Amino acid sequence: MPRIAALDPRIEVIHIGDLMKAEGEGDVAASRELDTLLRSAEVIAGLRLPDGLLRRAPGLKWIQLTSAGVDHALDDSLRSSPVLLANAANLHSFAIAEFAFTACLTLAKGVRECYRQKESRLWEPYSPIILRRKTMGIVGFGHIGRRIARMANAFEMRVVGLRRSRSQPVRARYADLVLPKDQLGKLLEESDFVVLTLPLTRETYHLIDKAELATMKRTGFIVNVSRGPIVNEAALATALQSGTIAGAAMDVFAREPLPEDSPLFSLPNLFYSPHIAGWLAEYPDMVLEVFLDNLQRYAGGRNLQNIINKQRGY
């Protein structure tokens, strides 16, 4: 098992990825070796965590996830434990914001129709949607949401945000209005484009369901670049088929890869992408910098960056 040099000579860093893979394939010897290593572990970092981590690592103090989302790791046992949980938030917020706005433009300008006409050698002019003076609703007005709002400002759009921490409507930088969470219906009613940029928690699971989709404008579009289960995909498919809403763009899904028999594949008014909105070639190096910075903080007894409120889920 390879040892990796850490910045602090008191810290021994061990790569356990191969052992986790072997354990998943049924290798009993690898599982025993992993047990031995976890028994003495104070810190673990990665995207995926070993099964039964808290039981197998009684001395664990801190988990550093290499993703922004934590829903895949945050179960009841971790919520109730004293173990610190940190993520890699904000590293790719600009990339996700760019992709979300690209999706909005793709839907508004009928890019799919342009490709269809080119492939069929047609010339059938149509009227694309103009973004100017349209309303952009952003559900989850954090780092990514504010970046999208900034782009919408450049297109002279009206921006309405929704933020959990707000108790009453307020104006904000890049937003004409930021609403509290209990006014989701108002945002949906007023928005021409609804962009979802919020974490998956118990509160946000199926936040967008049949009733919410019915609240939207029939000319409205919804874009999800956050987490798949925030949208009820069955309700979305029905809404797209019936014309309840005009279209959608989905980068994330409840099951990934999206099952081949999903009705979403056959919908012409759905823009599909395989969870790539936040992809960056430089991401591994950026995540490593975050981890090493936090490792120095941990060794020096200082507060860690990007600590998650485990009860809220973000």
CATH code for the domain in which residue 260 is found: 3.40.50.720
Q: What total of structural domains would you count in the chain?
A: 2
* Phi, psi (rounded to 5 degrees) for 265: -60, -30
Does pTM top 0.85 for this prediction? yes
Q: What would the two tokens of residue 99 be?
A: 């992709």
Domain shared by 28 and 115, yes or no:
no
Residues 194 and 103 both lie in one domain: yes
Q: Are residues 137 and 261 in the same domain?
A: yes
Q: State both tokens at 311.
A: 């009860």
225: its two tokens: 């670049």
Can you give the residue range of the structural domain that contains 189?
Answer: 93-272
* Cα 47-50-53 angle, rounded to 5 deg: 115
Same domain membership, residue 288 and residue 183: no
Provide the annotated active-site residues: 227, 256, 275
Are residues 245 and 151 part of one domain? Answer: yes
Distance between CA atoms of residues 34 and 237, nearest Å: 43
**242 plus 123 within the same structural domain:** yes
| Same domain, residue pair 233 and 153 | yes
> Which tokens sit at 243?
């014309």
| Contact present, 204 and 211 (Cβ < 8 Å) | no
The structure tokens listed for 71 are: 């829903």
Question: Measured between alpha carbons, how far is 57 from 252 in angstroms, rounded to an integer?
Answer: 32
Whether residues 243 and 260 share a domain: the answer is: yes
d(CA 254, CA 230): 8
In a domain, 21, yes or no: yes
Residue with tokens 């919804």: 222
With the CA atoms of 183, 68, 61 and 49 taken in that order, what torsion angle do they form, in degrees rounded to the nearest 10? 120
pLDDT in 10s for each residue of the chain, 314 residues: 444 555 566 678 888 999 999 999 999 999 999 999 999 999 999 999 999 999 999 999 999 999 999 999 999 999 999 999 999 998 999 999 999 999 999 999 999 999 999 999 999 999 999 999 999 999 999 999 999 999 999 999 999 999 998 999 999 999 999 999 999 999 999 999 999 999 999 999 999 999 999 999 999 999 999 999 999 999 999 999 999 999 999 999 999 999 999 999 999 999 999 999 999 999 999 999 999 999 999 999 999 999 999 999 99
Q: Do 109 and 28 share a domain, yes or no?
A: no
Q: Is 307 within the bounds of a domain?
A: no
Give the Cα separation of 220 and 199 in Å (integer).
22
